Amino acid sequence: MAGQTGGPALPRARGDLSAAVIARLRGSGTLPDPALADAAEPYGDDLQLALYICYELHYRGFAEVDPDHEWDPDLLTVRAALERRFESALRADAPPGTGLTDALDALLVEPAEGTGVSHFLQEHSTRERLRAYAVQRSLYHLKEADPHAWVLPRLSGRAKAGMAAIEYDEFGAGRAERVHAQLFADLMADLGLETAYGHYLDRGHAEMLALVNLMSLFGLHRRLRGALVGHFAAVEITSSPASRRLALAMKRADAGPAAEHFYTEHVEADAVHEQVVRHDVVRGLLDDEPALEADVVFGIDTTALLENRLADRLLTDWRAPARGLSGGSSRAHENPRD
């Protein structure tokens, strides 16, 4: 048996699919028939958790789980079935794709009266809401930029150089204390939260799991490299104004200097990244592979779809506090940092 990893503990199951995957990783169960994925709710807790666990084997893995499970053929067969169900739903539910120019231009439009998460928190920030928000976002931000790194071997020329330049910034430009995942851990510490990677997986909403799974789906499949670039464009282009609002929310709630710094850092960095991603990464990719334009738009549209689902969940709960953390009304192009 190969050496064990030191990742987070396996989460609690949320249904038959995730229970079977967890049991397999513990060496005590049989994997489900892949056909069962076809009947699962594509955005539901069970499928999204099962898929998240499968993907996490390609990142840091789980404590006391044999690293060899990363390439378990039977587990990969189940993962492929989960992916097909998820991707089929995304293709059915994402709005019809516009042209790329229109899709990119839409990302730059700031509504006169915003109704997204960052707008709400800017006006109604409390330490409790900011903690709840950070718990959800920790499932991505503690691995920030890692899913996007999968696309680098699939790019060339200007697109590769532009993507690598942005990733270099995300990974701290050579300084460990400036790695964006570390900056988010510092934010969590200011809010009195546990900072360990994967600690809050059991508290992650299905909507948040789906967002992280979207990045992994696009990143781990070469055929979806255009969609990953589209997703990345949606993140970087819309980040700066949302981060400005969230920095103000942190300040108003007296969340702490590191909590404010995480978002002020993104205001400046992502304003630069927005230009690089538009003109070098997206344009460079399509100059080399013009047939991928529809995939880039698909990446933008699915990012908006899943961000809106998460925003709906969060805002409904914040507007009805007695119900805990849940949802709100749909909007276009919510941001992963919004």
pTM summary value: 0.92
Residue pair 228/219 in contact by the 8 Å Cβ criterion: yes
pLDDT value at residue 312: 95
Phi, psi of 320 (to 5 degrees): -135, 75
96 CB contacts (<8 Å, ≥6 apart)?
none
**Closest Cα partner for 16 from 58, 77, 78?**
78
305 CB contacts (<8 Å, ≥6 apart)?
90, 93, 94, 95
**Closest Cα partner for 232 from 176, 290, 177, 285?**
285
**Tally of CA atoms within 13 A in the half-sphere of 4 that contains its CB:** 10
Six-digit token string for 193:
């939260």
**Closest Cα partner for 335 from 251, 259, 261, 267?**
267
Six-digit token string for 94:
């994402």
**Closest Cα partner for 227 from 119, 301, 120, 314?**
301
12 CB contacts (<8 Å, ≥6 apart)?
202
pLDDT value at residue 272: 77
Question: For the CA atoms of 22, 27, 29, 35, what is the dihedral angle to 10 degrees?
Answer: 60
220 CB contacts (<8 Å, ≥6 apart)?
55, 58, 150
- Residue identified by tokens 């006169």 is 112
Report in angstroms the alpha-carbon separations of 152 from 184, 185, 219.
24, 25, 9
pLDDT value at residue 112: 59
Three-class secondary structure of residue 100 per DSSP: helix
Task: Give the ranges where the chain is alpha helix by DSSP (H).
Answer: 16-25, 45-56, 73-93, 100-107, 117-124, 127-141, 146-149, 157-170, 180-190, 206-220, 225-252, 257-276, 283-288, 293-319
Mean pLDDT by 10 residues, the chain (338 residues): 64 97 92 94 98 98 95 97 98 87 86 81 95 98 96 97 96 95 98 98 98 98 98 91 94 96 85 87 97 96 96 91 40 44
Report the alpha-carbon distance of residue 262 to residue 313 in Å, rounded: 24
Report the alpha-carbon distance of residue 240 to residue 238 in Å, rounded: 6
